[in-house]
């Protein structure tokens, strides 16, 4: 969703006299979105509009289609009489199957299909241990990742564009002049962040100053201490190389930690690519034996932000209203769901998949399995976040809680993390007792073969 530093587009422009840009709305993906006011669809529209505005200044346009890409791409390639189709590799199981079928259909038309590494810095075959196997633990993976980067003198490719080769075409059904929301059955619903490369690059540049303190501020949800770039990297408005270059420009603790977060992203994409079953199953198969004991009504309360645990409820209400959630809070609410409410991590993962503006299958599955201790390099099952301690440690003054739970706005920091019914009569009582549920969680996980 960008016109800069784009591997497939750059190669296409270098190797051909004319290149046509295409975007396909895929009903096989969109039909799974039950909320027709899904913010991600609007974010994508805004990103397309941003590109289209730039292209139209050059007399060009993006061709847009709605339909199964396996049918639409070969059909369009035939109509345009192209010789080659270029795309970047996608590591999700559905995408790999889809792209293989597209390649097959194009081959039947004698059209070449070329794919490139773009959405990650290093693919799974590039980062291997001494035995030639993929890593299953993050820290040695990160060390190897950095070693490979140093071996290329910290040079991060920047794919250049010869925009004069983009086809001079006026697309009458472009996203500036046509209501594509209506065409595909959705309602325009802007998010707290507007899609598009222009804003993404601006936000990345502005983050260069606070990045130096990222290691100190990243865990405090009431502070503006993170970049909020995850929706932009998820939807391709930025390249992963944009992020890495920004991290390498600074030699300080904040930049090092921020770069580690980018490496975590590569790690989870590698895990999904090499172990596709993690989409629906635990990385550690033994943990699929767990008999989750939680109640349906507890899950509903968690989704609605009505558990009686302020830090959990504030995080969930923020998610429901904005599509955003601070990374520290993702860990807190995930641990709470699995290890305090004893509910299967897959239920939480699916709920996040419906709500997150930056939803990414690899990162979402990896994060949930880390928190629930069912994944690779996960926290030990007996490590259980105490929601009260997490609240006091990372929202000590209760600023984040007050922002999202107005019925607790009058409380001071000594009462807000565990409010009494007398002081907060309009706020729900805790649906479970943490200490009791912690003991149950240890018992529930303890039956799993280690």
Q: How many CB atoms lie within 10 A of CB 59?
A: 11
Cα separation, 55 vs 22, in Å, equals 13
Q: What percent of the chain has pLDDT over 90?
A: 94
What six digits make up the tokens of 287? 């943990």
Q: Is 338 helix (H, G, I), strand (E, B) or coil?
A: helix
Question: Is 404 among the catalytic positions?
Answer: no
Q: Which of 368, 370, 392, 404 is catalytic?
A: 368
Question: Is 261 among the catalytic positions?
Answer: yes
Reported as a pLDDT band with limits 50, 70 and 90, residue 351 is very high
Answer whether 185's CB lies under 8 Å from 41's CB: no
Cα separation, 196 vs 188, in Å, equals 15
The pLDDT value given to residue 171: 74
Answer whether 399's CB lies under 8 Å from 392's CB: no
pLDDT in tens, 269-313: 999 999 999 999 999 999 999 999 999 999 999 999 999 999 999
Cα separation, 272 vs 231, in Å, equals 19
Q: Which of 292, 354, 386, 399 is catalytic?
A: 292
Question: Is 258 among the catalytic positions?
Answer: no
Residue 216 pLDDT exceeds 70: yes
Sign of the CA dihedral with 13 first, then 17, 23, and 28 last: negative
**Which residues are CB-contacts of 406 (< 8 A; sequence separation ≥ 6)?**
none
CA nearest to 306, candidates 269, 333, 279, 286: 333
The pLDDT value given to residue 294: 97
Answer whether 390's CB lies under 8 Å from 371's CB: no
Q: Which of 180, 345, 370, 404 is catalytic?
A: 345
Residue 19 bridge partners (DSSP): 166
**Which residues are CB-contacts of 402 (< 8 A; sequence separation ≥ 6)?**
408, 409, 411, 416
What six digits make up the tokens of 215? 């290691």
Residue 88 bridge partners (DSSP): 116
Residue 181 pLDDT exceeds 70: yes
Provide the strand spans (E) within 75-199.
84-88, 112-116
Where does residue 125 rank: exposed (0-12), middle (13-18), buried (19+ CB within 10 A)?
exposed
Residue 236 pLDDT exceeds 60: yes
Q: Which of 18, 327, 386, 399 is catalytic?
A: 327
pLDDT in tens, 24-58: 999 999 999 999 999 999 999 999 999 999 999 99
Enclosing H/E stretch for 48: helix 39-56
Question: Is 15 among the catalytic positions?
Answer: no
Summary mean pLDDT of the chain: 96
Count the alpha carbons within 13 Å of 263 in the hemisphere toward its beta carbon: 23
**pTM score of the predicted model:** 0.95
The pLDDT value given to residue 411: 97
**Which residues are CB-contacts of 338 (< 8 A; sequence separation ≥ 6)?**
344, 345, 348, 371, 372, 373, 441
Cα separation, 189 vs 179, in Å, equals 13
Cα separation, 63 vs 272, in Å, equals 31
- For each of the domains in the chain, give its residue range(s) and CATH number, in order of start: 1-119+160-168 (3.40.50.620), 122-155+193-274 (1.25.40.80), 285-446 (1.10.579.10)
Cα separation, 385 vs 259, in Å, equals 25
Reported as a pLDDT band with limits 50, 70 and 90, residue 449 is low
Start-to-end CA span in the chain (Å): 43
Q: Which of 228, 264, 306, 354 is catalytic?
A: 264
Average pLDDT over residues 366-378: 93
Question: Is 345 among the catalytic positions?
Answer: yes
Question: Is 327 among the catalytic positions?
Answer: yes
């Amino acid at each position: 969703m960008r016109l800069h530093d784009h591997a497939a587009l750059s190669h296409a422009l270098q190797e051909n006299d004319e290149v046509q840009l295409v975007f396909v709305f895929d009903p096989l993906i969109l039909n799974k979105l039950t909320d027709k006011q899904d913010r991600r669809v609007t974010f994508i529209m805004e990103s397309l509009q941003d590109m289209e505005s730039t292209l139209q200044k050059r007399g060009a346009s993006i061709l847009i289609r709605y339909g199964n890409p396996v049918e639409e791409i070969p059909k369009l390639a035939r109509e345009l009489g192209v010789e080659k189709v270029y795309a970047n590799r996608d590591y999700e199981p559905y995408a790999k199957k889809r792209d293989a079928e597209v390649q097959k259909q194009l081959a039947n038309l004698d059209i070449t299909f070329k794919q490139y590494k773009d959405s990650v810095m290093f693919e799974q075959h590039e980062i291997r241990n001494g035995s030639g196997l993929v890593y299953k633990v993050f820290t040695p993976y990160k060390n190897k990742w950095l070693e490979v980067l140093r071996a290329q003198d910290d040079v991060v490719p920047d794919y250049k564009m010869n925009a004069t080769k983009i086809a001079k075409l006026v697309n009458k059904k472009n996203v500036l002049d046509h209501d594509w929301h209506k065409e595909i059955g959705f309602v325009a619903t802007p998010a707290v962040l507007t899609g598009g490369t222009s804003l993404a690059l601006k936000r990345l540049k502005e983050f260069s100053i606070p990045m130096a303190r990222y290691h100190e501020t990243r865990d405090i949800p009431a502070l503006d201490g993170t970049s909020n770039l995850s929706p932009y990297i998820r939807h391709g408005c930025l390249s992963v190389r944009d992020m890495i270059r920004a991290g390498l420009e600074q030699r300080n603790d904040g930049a090092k930690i921020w770069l580690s977060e980018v490496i975590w992203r590569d790690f989870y994409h590698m895990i999904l690519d090499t172990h596709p079953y993690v989409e629906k199953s635990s990385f550690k198969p033994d943990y699929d034996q767990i008999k989750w004991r939680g109640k349906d009504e507890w899950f509903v309360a968690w989704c609605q932000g009505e558990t009686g645990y302020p830090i959990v409820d504030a995080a969930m209400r923020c998610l429901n209203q904005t599509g955003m959630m601070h990374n520290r809070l993702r860990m807190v609410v995930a641990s709470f769901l699995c290890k305090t409410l004893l509910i299967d991590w897959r239920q939480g993962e699916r709920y996040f998949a419906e709500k997150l503006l930056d939803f990414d299958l690899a990162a979402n599955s990896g994060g949930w399995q880390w928190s629930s201790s069912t994944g690779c390099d996960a926290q030990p099952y007996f490590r259980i976040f105490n929601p009260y301690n997490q609240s006091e440690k990372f929202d000590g003054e209760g600023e984040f809680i007050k922002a999202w739970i107005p019925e607790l706005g009058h409380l001071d920091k000594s009462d807000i993390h565990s409010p009494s019914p007398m002081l907060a009569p309009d706020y729900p009582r805790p649906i479970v007792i943490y200490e009791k549920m912690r003991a149950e969680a240890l018992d529930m996980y303890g039956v799993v073969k280690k």
